[in-house]
Amino acid sequence: MKSILSFLGGIILTLVVLAGLGYLAVKAGMVPANADGKPAALESWVANTALQAALARDTKELRNPIQPSEENLISGVHLYAENCAICHGASDAKPSKLAKGFYIEAPQLAKDGVEDDPEAASFWKVKHGIRFTAMPSFTTTLQDEEIWKLAMFLRQMDKLPPAVDAEWKKVPSVAATPAPN
């Protein structure tokens, strides 16, 4: 019995020492906080795992109540142009100067795509944002109906009807957009 208690005590002491060393590393500035640096593997793993778990949990019951139509898709294009293009690019998939400085790099959706993502996942990401990235929550900016139209557009971005595709191609490139002063 004494050896089991010693073993458990050793495990607890090891965990306390590791936690203490981690705390000291953070307090000593040894963990990068700069947005232009490469994230550590552990940081990337924790962030991606947490995001995927949240999406799996929170989007199970979400269904787009908006019916697909050219009108709703065009509305999604306009919402994208007004709210998303500055970070995620236009149909030319060229990033703005602002987007080039993001941590984590914002995907250029016309080339990196989200067409294979469920609409519920895109809705959730737009509505709630993604912690520790530059992706903001649009809860106070857009109504749910608008977010669903945007999610519908994103899901169909690679197979738009001709009239909607023409509207999408009209969204001006943001590549020359200067970063804010």
Share of the chain above pLDDT 70, in %: 97
CA atoms of 28 and 90, how far apart (whole Å): 42
Task: Read off the pTM.
Answer: 0.83
Report pLDDT digits (tens) over 9-55: 889 989 999 999 888 888 888 877 777 777 888 888 998 999 999 99
Confidence category of residue 133, pLDDT binned at 50, 70, 90: confident
What are the chain's domains?
67-169 (1.10.760.10)
Which of the two residues, 37 and 5, has the higher pLDDT score? 5
User: Which pLDDT score is estimated for 178?
Assistant: 61
Confidence category of residue 180, pLDDT binned at 50, 70, 90: low
